[in-house]
A and B are shown apart, each in its own frame.
Chain A
Amino acid sequence: MMTNPIITAANTFGVFVFVFAACLYVYWLGRRELVFHTLLSVTIAGLVTIVLKELFLTPRPFMATGESPMAGLAYLSSFPSAHAAVAFAAATTVALHTPRFGLFLFLIATLIGLGRVAADVHYPIDIAFGTLVGVSIALFFENAHIRARKRTKLHR
């Protein structure tokens, strides 16, 4: 495989750019609350996957082949993918409020996941479960938030 610094950087840090850009756009739309919401889901999804990684301790695919991978941030265990969890947590949260932009984010998040597989730092199953964790955490915060807001309105 060819090593291209731009592709490697995209596979490594693309997810941060993705979250940042999504937040920026949502902020520009005037949905400040959604920005906090996205950042919360993203942070928790990232932390949860790191804990899960520590539990499962599976080797990265590039360790089996012995070739150097085309992405960084691959020091922890392989399963599940934190990149996928973070990207999909952001995409889900945004999609629940602005469906069309959300759909676009889902496409990019899928690309991020595929990129990690192509870069030899993840197996497809890591991406699948990372996505599952990201989406469920985003849905959880969404629902918890709605409930909390209803309760405060009731008291008001």
Chain B
Amino acid sequence: MRVIARLDIKNEFVIKGIHLEGLRKVGDPCDLAKQYYENGIDELLLMDAVASLYDRNNLFHIIESACREVFIPITVGGGIRQLSDIDAALKSGADKVAINTGAVNNPDLIREASMRYGSQAIVASIEAKRAGDSWTAYVDNGREPTGKSVIEWSEELAELGAGEIIVTSIDQEGTKKGFDIDLIEQVNRAVTIPVIACGGLGTTTHIEQLVDRVQPSAIACASVFHYKVLGITDIKQTLIGCGRKVREAA
């Protein structure tokens, strides 16, 4: 299982919200990226928190800087709307792109992008909010409901050629109260591509609870790292304790 550090970025700052709302600044992107790399994180996820809101792309210069000293996979998301955006992201040093709003507005983007760049470079990103017994997908950083069922949408995305799916629970993210395990379980069951679980990690017990029921390919964490609640080693030791294979921090 991979452990991924998620950095939501606005302009020059890493920010951290709750329920994808709020812009509290928590650090410098390049500093944090380097720090997590040196502490053994497996991958980095850099999300432009406001790209859709402001109809712009701002992260590429940050990726360029981060890449000079960080030699693990980097996924870039936020405001990826067309092939030229993907091109620019990969050229600046990203290995993968995460796409949410762009895919909802134009599902063919996933198909075209995976044919052009290979599905492994295309991560479909889903923001999920609980609605009764199921979940609805949101776009624009949790701002606009789409009316799409998360489970059906994840199946469609996999069929379109996405290489991975990252599913973020809007209800749990930023709260440090635990994962939405039902959500992750159902998405994982719905597809055969790797699923990255995101949103809610607060204690090592949450990891044990998650892994007891479902084996996502990776977990993405933000609050616990940015607020120094848990270390990367803590998380990896817990996973090893649960019998998961993890990369020894190097």
Is chain B found bound to chain A in the same assembly? Answer: no
Chain B residues with a Cβ under 8 A of chain A: none
Chain A residues with a Cβ under 8 A of chain B: none
